[in-house]
Every structure is written in C-alpha cells, then in structure tokens.
C-alpha cells in the first residue's frame, strides 16, 4: 500500500501516468513522485499526444457514462483543462441504434440530457448545411448532443504534466529498458534504463500504453505470470489531418464533431483548429504481431519517427480507408480540402475495453495503469483519482472488479475499435 514519504516511479507520461503523478502529489504530499518518459513532454508517439480528441459522455455502457459526466465538469471548470476544451456538440450519423442506448442510459441514472434527435434530412440543413453532401445511406435519424465537444490534444496533456511538476512531481526524460524484478517471489524495485542506469522506487506504476505487453515480457521473459497474456494488446488506428482554404472557413463555423457509424463509413471528424486543420479517424483498428524472445508473439507498435508521428509513411490501404471517411463526411462541399499527413495512433486495447488499474497479482510493488482502448483521453481530469485510490486501497468494489488484472471480460465500452486484422495484411504494407 502507498504511504507518505514513499517514492513512486511512474513509467509513461500519457494520460494515465501524468494524471496519476498530479493526483499523488495532491493526495500524498510528502511523496516523492517521478514521471518517466523517453522524450520531452508530450511524447509525440503516445496515444495521449494528438492534434485533438473527442470529449463526450454518450456511452452504451452506463458505467463509463457516469464517469465521463464527472470528467466533463472538470473540462468545463478546472483551469488546468478549461482552456483546451471546445464544446462544439457532437452528431451521430448511425444506423446501429446507439441513440436509443444513450437515452436509456441517461434515464437510468436520472440525468436529463440536452440531446436531440433529428431526421437525416433535418441534420443536413443544420450548422449552415455543412453536412449537405455527406453520404449517410441507411441513416434515417441522427443524434446530437450539444454538451459534447473536443479537446486540444497536446495542449491539454502539456498543461496536465506541467501541473504535476508545479505540484512537486519530477519529470525525467530517459528511455526505459526493463523493470527490475527480484527474487523468486517477484518484487519490483525499479527500472533499468537503456543506458544501464537503475532507478529504484518503493512503488512502480506501469502506464506505458501500447508498449505495456512488450515491456512486461521484456522485463521477465521466462516468468509467464508477469506477462499480459492477451489482457492488453497493442492496436493501431489510422488518422489524417487536412487543411482547407481560408475562404471555406465560414462553411465550417459552428460545425460539431461528427461520428459516422455505418457499414460503409466508420469514423469521425473533429472541427477545425485555429490554424484550419481538420482531423479524421477511421475506426477499424489493427495489430502488429512480432515474435518475442519469450517464445510468444506480441503486438507492438512499429518503429516510428521519434520527432513526429504525423507523416506519409503508412500503407496505401490505410490511406484509402481514411480517404473514404473524409469524402463521406463533407463530400464536395468543402472545396480545396487537402489531406496533409497521416498517423497510426497506437493504444493498449483490452478485450472489453475496460481499463486495467490494479496491482499486479504476481509481482509485489508493481501496479498497472493501462488499457486505454481508444476511449481514455477524455477522462484526463479524473483518471488519476482512480489510480491513486487503487494505490491507497480506496477504490470502490465495482471499479476494482471491472479494472482488475484478472476479470470477466464481458461487455464492451467501445467495441468499434477492437482490432480485426494485422498491419501486415493491409495493402501497401512494407516493413521499413
């Protein structure tokens, strides 16, 4: 159990790690907290670093709906996050019955949402007709929540990490090689850096996102009880950024986030940033399995440019898929829309998209805070509270059960993003 005066070493400065560092310094002010990552913050290759991210409380799983409503209040009011939050609203063009699930969940927790349901024809006339050319075949009605929006990805994460530093945490840039696990009873006493140095701590929190499975296997290749063993899998999803001429800006003024959930179009578009950049996501994710010295195959993010994750170096098949999202979202209405760069965003995905926030049951002093499953970023203001509650043995029974290392993987918080193919199967793939 964590206590005052202890040294906490957090490996990974994404949402899980950074939020935990800040909350630890608040809750255990005499603690020594080190936040460790391989690059200056924010790390461009982490899932938490991005142009922007969607912030919503609409969930088919009422458990996460309640948590997201709590997080949204801090997005609107906490000075750490408020400057980076844009409440544009969010429109769902879908044919899967999601709207009914959302509305039923709000009713079950006695919340009256501001949501509205429009016919597809009505939705195409709203927001200046920005979606007039959208391809919504199969959609009869749409769902709009004006209390949703988006956040500045890097801006908010940078603000969070700086807040943790201002609160007394130490940020250390150093690539990590492995955990240091001692003895037959497996006790973690710190990490070994790539340059051979060792950093010791009383408690080690692994918040390494998509690298978690490989990191655990690298640290104890012969101890299978330490391995993730399918609990966490690295999955990638394609994104693109696009620019447009200044004379088209008026058409996009006031546009909401748009979530396309149809068989022919699965992906999102986030409204433009101040420098006129739109971001698009495609939902169908993929793995990248490689042989590991432990004798198993582990999905790992491919090697990426350490300076930028946005580039042209993605398979043509992924480009074609994200182009479909762009075309089906705005059609020809936004003239001069030009795709600039692409990004494979890699996250740690669990079988039912529940996070893992738990002590490792087979290694003392080791804790896991991972499994973001492409939906954790919006919980930036609150997720550190849950990790610290776990460390202090204060986490509620429902949360403890759902976020355990070993648990029932029934259900799905965001099943749309479960990987369904491997990177090597995608047309145009080549291993550089």
Residue 55's domain is classified under what CATH number?
3.50.50.60
Percent of the chain with pLDDT over 90: 91
Q: 217 and 294 in contact (C-beta within 8 Å)? A: yes
Confidence at residue 28, expressed as pLDDT on a 0 to 100 scale: 96
pLDDT score of 197 more than 60: yes
pLDDT digits (tens, 9 = 90+) for 150-183: 999 999 999 999 999 999 999 999 999 999 999 8
Q: Which two tokens stand for residue 397?
A: 């029974």
Q: Does some domain include residue 371?
A: yes
Label residue 184 by pLDDT band (50, 70, 90).
Answer: confident
Sign of CA dihedral 38, 39, 45, 51: positive
Mean per-residue pLDDT of the chain:
95
Q: 140 and 120 in contact (C-beta within 8 Å)? A: yes
Give DSSP secondary structure letters for 290-314. EE-TTSSEEE-PPP--SS-S-BS-S
pLDDT score of 432 more than 80: no
CA distances 235 to 142, 371, 409, Å, are 29, 11, 17
**Closest alpha carbon to 424 in 222, 197, 191, 236:** 236
CB atoms within 10 A of CB 195: 8
pLDDT score of 127 more than 80: yes
Domain that holds residue 274: 7-423
Mean pLDDT of 202-230: 97
Q: Where are the alpha helices (DSSP H) in 12-61?
A: 15-27
Cβ neighbours for 339, distance < 8 A, ≥ 6 positions apart? 240, 241, 242, 322, 323, 326
Q: How many residues does this entry show for the chain?
A: 432
Percent of the chain with pLDDT over 70: 98
Q: 142 and 117 in contact (C-beta within 8 Å)? A: yes
Q: Are strands 32-37 and 170-173 parallel, antiparallel or unpaired?
A: parallel
Label residue 254 by pLDDT band (50, 70, 90).
Answer: very high
**Closest alpha carbon to 383 in 352, 354, 426, 410:** 354
pLDDT score of 430 more than 90: no
Give DSSP secondary structure letters for 53-81. EEE----SSHHHHHHHHHHHHHHHH-TTT
Q: 3 and 28 in contact (C-beta within 8 Å)? A: yes
Q: Does some domain include residue 38?
A: yes
- Rounded CA-CA distance 247/187 in Å is 61
Q: Does some domain include residue 430?
A: no
The lowest-confidence range among 65-79, 216-230, 418-432 is: 418-432
CA distances 136 to 141, 294, 324, Å, are 10, 47, 12
Confidence at residue 303, expressed as pLDDT on a 0 to 100 scale: 84
Task: Specify the pTM.
Answer: 0.96
Q: Does some domain include residue 431?
A: no
Cβ neighbours for 61, distance < 8 A, ≥ 6 positions apart? 105, 411, 412, 413
Q: Does some domain include residue 408?
A: yes
DSSP state of 389: H
SS3 156: helix
Peptide bond into 383 cis (omega under 30): no
Select the more confidently predicted residue: 203 or 410. Answer: 203
Label residue 1 by pLDDT band (50, 70, 90).
Answer: low
- Rounded CA-CA distance 44/41 in Å is 8
Confidence at residue 412, expressed as pLDDT on a 0 to 100 scale: 82
pLDDT digits (tens, 9 = 90+) for 23-57: 999 999 999 999 999 999 999 889 999 999 999 99
Confidence at residue 169, expressed as pLDDT on a 0 to 100 scale: 98
Label residue 203 by pLDDT band (50, 70, 90).
Answer: very high
Q: Are strands 203-206 and 366-370 parallel, antiparallel or unpaired?
A: parallel
pLDDT digits (tens, 9 = 90+) for 99-118: 999 999 999 999 999 999 99
Q: Which two tokens stand for residue 328?
A: 């089906």
Total structural domains in the chain?
Answer: 1
**Closest alpha carbon to 55 in 75, 34, 37, 29:** 75
pLDDT digits (tens, 9 = 90+) for 304-328: 766 668 888 999 999 999 999 999 9
Q: Does some domain include residue 176?
A: yes
Q: Does some domain include residue 429?
A: no
**Closest alpha carbon to 359 in 404, 417, 423:** 404
pLDDT digits (tens, 9 = 90+) for 339-375: 999 999 999 999 999 999 999 999 999 999 999 999 9
Q: 113 and 147 in contact (C-beta within 8 Å)? A: yes
Confidence at residue 11, expressed as pLDDT on a 0 to 100 scale: 98
Confidence at residue 413, expressed as pLDDT on a 0 to 100 scale: 81
- Rounded CA-CA distance 11/194 in Å is 13
Q: Does some domain include residue 353?
A: yes
Confidence at residue 185, expressed as pLDDT on a 0 to 100 scale: 85
pLDDT score of 13 more than 70: yes
pLDDT digits (tens, 9 = 90+) for 137-154: 999 999 999 999 999 999
Cβ neighbours for 126, distance < 8 A, ≥ 6 positions apart? 118
- Rounded CA-CA distance 129/358 in Å is 47
Q: Are strands 203-206 and 7-11 parallel, antiparallel or unpaired?
A: parallel
Label residue 4 by pLDDT band (50, 70, 90).
Answer: low
Mean pLDDT of 117-141: 96
Label residue 94 by pLDDT band (50, 70, 90).
Answer: very high
- Rounded CA-CA distance 372/49 in Å is 13
Q: Which two tokens stand for residue 101?
A: 């699930």
Cβ neighbours for 38, distance < 8 A, ≥ 6 positions apart? 173, 174, 175, 176
Burial 395-410 (b: 16+ CB within 10 A, else e): beeebbebbbbebeee
pLDDT score of 279 more than 90: yes
């Amino acid at each position: 159990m964590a206590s005052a005066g202890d040294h906490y070493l957090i490996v990974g400065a994404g949402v899980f790690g950074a939020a935990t560092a800040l909350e630890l310094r608040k809750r255990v002010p005499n603690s020594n907290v080190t936040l460790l990552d391989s690059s200056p913050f924010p790390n461009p290759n982490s899932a938490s670093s991005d142009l922007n991210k969607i912030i919503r409380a609409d969930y088919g799983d009422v458990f996460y709906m309640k948590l997201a409503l709590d997080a949204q209040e801090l997005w609107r009011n906490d000075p750490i996050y408020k400057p980076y939050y844009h409440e544009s609203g969010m429109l769902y063009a879908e044919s899967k019955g999601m709207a009914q699930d959302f509305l039923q969940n709000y009713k079950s927790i006695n919340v009256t949402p501001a949501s509205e349901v429009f016919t597809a024809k009505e939705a195409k006339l709203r927001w200046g007709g920005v979606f007039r050319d959208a391809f919504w075949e199969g959609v009869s009605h749409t769902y709009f929540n004006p209390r949703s929006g988006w956040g500045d990805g890097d801006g908010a994460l940078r603000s969070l990490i700086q807040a943790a530093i201002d609160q007394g945490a130490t940020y250390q840039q150093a690539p990590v090689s492995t955990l240091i696990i001692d003895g037959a009873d497996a006790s973690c006493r710190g990490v070994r850096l790539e340059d051979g140095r060792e950093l010791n701590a009383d408690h080690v929190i692994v918040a390494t996102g998509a690298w978690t499975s490989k990191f655990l296997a690298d640290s104890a290749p012969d101890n299978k009880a330490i391995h993730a063993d399918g609990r966490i899998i690295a999955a990638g999803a394609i994104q693109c950024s696009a620019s447009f001429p200044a004379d088209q800006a008026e058409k996009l003024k006031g546009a909401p986030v748009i979530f396309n959930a149809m068989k022919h179009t699965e992906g999102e578009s986030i409204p433009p940033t101040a420098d006129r950049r739109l971001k698009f996501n495609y939902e169908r994710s993929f793995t990248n399995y490689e042989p590991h010295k432990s004798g198993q195959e582990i999905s790992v993010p491919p090697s990426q440019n350490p300076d930028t994750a946005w580039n042209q170096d993605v398979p043509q098949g992924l480009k074609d898929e994200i182009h479909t999202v762009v075309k089906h979202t705005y059609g020809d209405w936004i003239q001069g829309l030009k795709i600039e760069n692409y990004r494979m965003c890699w996250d740690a995905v669990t079988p039912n998209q529940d996070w893992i926030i738990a002590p490792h049951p087979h290694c003392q002093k080791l804790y896991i805070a991972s499994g973001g499953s492409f939906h954790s970023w919006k919980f930036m203001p609150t997720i550190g509270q849950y990790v610290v509650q776990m460390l202090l043995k204060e986490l509620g029974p429902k949360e403890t059960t759902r976020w355990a290392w070993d648990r029932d993987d029934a259900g799905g918080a965001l099943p749309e993003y479960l990987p369904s193919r491997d990177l090597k199967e995608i047309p145009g793939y080549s291993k550089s």
